[in-house]
Structure 1
Amino acid sequence: MKRGCRGGDASAEGEGAEVHRQVRQYVQQKVRPGMELLEIAEMVEQASSSLVGFDPRNPLRRGWAFPTGLSLNEVAAHDTVNPGDPARWLQPADILKIDFGVHVQGNILDSAFSVSFDPMHDELMRTVQEATETGIRNAGPDAWISEISSQIREVMESGEVHRPDGKVFRVKVIKNLTGHLIGPYKIHAGKSLPSVNTGGRERMLAGELWAVETFGSVGGLGYVGNGGNCSHFMRSSGSEPAQWQRSILSSSAVNLLDLIDQRFGTLAFCPRWILQAAQQKKPKTATSDQRWWASPLDELCNVGVVNRFPPLADLRGSYTAQYEHTILLGSSRKEVLTRGDDY
């Protein structure tokens, strides 16, 4: 298999995939209504950090690939717990999307699933899972992305959800959330896999690593927008601040940028991880202010060296689901790296 076009490492990918399977199996056994979302996030992160062998002395060698997504109900993606946030607990009627990833030497494994304890959401979850499987089945070397997108949408919009009050809702595909190409240390490496045909003329190619993911919505628009306070951030690729930009940054913003570069590089991160990294770097400088990062991080975003990725939500009161796998395209076959007994 030709792999040079993306710099992939089969043994590293296999190791990361096994870590993901073990962590989510553990999490699926533990998550229950009444749990605080912070507890779930820390459970995912502690388990994945331990199993993948994260070492704070060499933080970019292996570890978390992006913040643990814990998106509730109408929020479809890019939500996690920030320091100082009011406590949120998982309710019996909620539907929770758990989206997390690990990397081994920059080889990212990205997979997500939905959790609910209310049978009302079963059909939505089944439909979205089948839409993702449709994307995987039709993916392959030289496959037209637009054709895969059409097939995903057809499956997604065939689903119906019957509510206890007798109302029937069609499942809507979320049009502006996509699968994506993965590169070394880059969760989004350029090409995307929409769940609707946008008329593009791109193909998948042998040697590519893809996150195939789909999102469905019930009771909403099938379209997501900014859903609240931002918890996901990522360094802008190739955006070393110009001298004039550095000159207008406060010393705290410059120090934070140095910490981000050393600890996360081009990987996505969240403020909870900033606090952890700062504490590990200088244990004696702990502060009771859990939001000291907010102002310098805003500075970095405002000059364009860090990007914000806010929560993405459909209409309030709607419900969304997600399923995702990382697949590797060979010259004649594909491998679903994150496949497990669960999904």
Structure 2
Amino acid sequence: MDEEELKNYEKAGKIAKEIREWSKSLIKPGKKLLEVAEEIENKIKESGADPAFPVNICVNDVAAHYTPKFNDNLELGENDIVSIDIGVHVNGYIADTAYTIDLSNSYKDMLKCNQEALKEAISLISPDTSVSEIGKVVEDVTASYGYKPIENLTGHQIERYNLHAGISIPNIEVPYDWKIKEGMVLAIEPFATDGYGRVLESKIAEIFSLKAFKSCRLKEGRLLLKKLEPRKGLPFAKRWFSKDISPLKLDLVLRELVAIDAIKPYFMLHEKERGKVSQFEHTVIVLEDGCKVIT
């Protein structure tokens, strides 16, 4: 990794960390999810960066891939457990971080074990560490508190304009032994649950990413593809374009673009047994003798 790349990653990480800590004050009963998402995304832009993906706000049994709709009226409740996943990019260099707040004060142990699992996983990261070793420590720490990791959600390698590149970092022990290499950028994100320990896809998709530029029948589809060019494949929210294209037409456009394989939908994921879910995440750069947390 050259000096310019490192500088961009560190800037993205610094902004992500600052916004993560600032955003915690937004998470309170009665606050609308849409307001939280928009305030965080606007703060990222004000900080001289851009969202690497739409802010994910996952409540209770929802584990991943939920961002509010353009007219979302959902509010946080006093008994909710709320996970916020934030991505920041500077010139395509991405930092990814997440945290969970328990408004009910009923899941302190689950959050504690989740944070400990993240800390222990990061402590193992250095060149030639097996990803299975990392998954095993997450699984063991989580189980020691009586909870389960989410077996089919993983951390991931990050590259420029590529949020999920190369290897995955499992949250359970696995039968393959991919190795960590110096210079890799990794998002380490254990999840914990009091449910089954697996997520299922819903039919709800508010997040998409561009796969390929293809000929689109609708002129609004061509407009959308043009507007997506600067993101170079990074995920986007449907609501980001609700002022450019009417909501009804936007649904038709997205449906057509999915059908012709021009864009990919990210369906909301929920815990199999509707168990509560928590998530904590940092982005790290692998060094010669360990790793550096940039978030």
Shift in Å at residue 92 of structure 1? 0.9
Work out which of the two has the higher radius of gyration on C-alpha atoms and give 1 or 2.
Answer: 1
1:42 and 1:240 map into 2 onto residues whose CA distance is 28
Alignment partner of 2:220 out of 252, 255, 260: 252
Q: Spell out the pairing of 1:68-107 with structure 2 (5 A cutoff).
A: 68-85=55-72, 87-107=73-93
1:183 and 1:207 map into 2 onto residues whose CA distance is 11
For the Cα contact (< 8 Å) 1:8–1:107, is it kept in 2? no
For the Cα contact (< 8 Å) 2:151–2:172, is it kept in 1? yes
- Map of 1:123 onto structure 2: 109
For the Cα contact (< 8 Å) 2:196–2:271, is it kept in 1? yes
Over residues 214-245 of structure 1, what are the superposed CA-to-partner deviations in whole Å (9 max), with x where a residue is unaligned?
11111x21110113410111112xx343xxxx
- Aligned partner of residue 91 in structure 1, secondary structure: coil
- Map of 1:322 onto structure 2: 279
Q: TM-score, normalised by structure 1?
A: 0.82
2:4 and 2:80 map into 1 onto residues whose CA distance is 38
- Residue type of the alignment partner of 1:9: E
- Map of 1:206 onto structure 2: 182
- Map of 2:236 onto structure 1: 269
Alignment partner of 1:180 out of 156, 161, 181: 156
- Map of 2:257 onto structure 1: 300
- Map of 1:21 onto structure 2: 17
Please say if 1:40 is aligned against 2:36: yes
- Map of 1:233 onto structure 2: 208
- Residue type of the alignment partner of 2:260: V
Q: Spell out the pairing of 1:321-340 with structure 2 (5 A cutoff).
A: 321-338=278-295
- Residue type of the alignment partner of 2:269: L
Q: Structure 1 or 2: larger strand share?
A: 2
2:55 and 2:130 map into 1 onto residues whose CA distance is 31
1:193 and 1:317 map into 2 onto residues whose CA distance is 24
- Residue type of the alignment partner of 2:176: G
For the Cα contact (< 8 Å) 1:232–1:309, is it kept in 2? yes
1:275 and 1:186 map into 2 onto residues whose CA distance is 25
2:218 and 2:274 map into 1 onto residues whose CA distance is 41
- Aligned partner of residue 15 in structure 2, secondary structure: helix
Structure 2: 5+ residue stretches without partners: none
The CA RMSD measured in Å over matched residues stands at 1.7
Deviates more, 1:176-185 or 1:298-307: 298-307
2:36 and 2:4 map into 1 onto residues whose CA distance is 31
- Residue type of the alignment partner of 2:228: I
Alignment partner of 1:137 out of 111, 120, 123: 123
Identity rate of aligned residues, in percent? 28
Over residues 318-343 of structure 1, what are the superposed CA-to-partner deviations in whole Å (9 max), with x where a residue is unaligned?
200000000000122310110xxxxx
- Aligned partner of residue 107 in structure 2, secondary structure: helix
- Aligned partner of residue 176 in structure 2, secondary structure: coil
Deviates more, 1:249-258 or 1:17-26: 249-258
- Residue type of the alignment partner of 2:196: L
- Map of 1:113 onto structure 2: 99
- Residue type of the alignment partner of 2:285: L
1:29 and 1:312 map into 2 onto residues whose CA distance is 26
Over residues 35-85 of structure 1, what are the superposed CA-to-partner deviations in whole Å (9 max), with x where a residue is unaligned?
11111111111111101x2xxxxxxxx411001000010001110101234
Aligned residue pairs total 295
1:198 and 1:300 map into 2 onto residues whose CA distance is 35
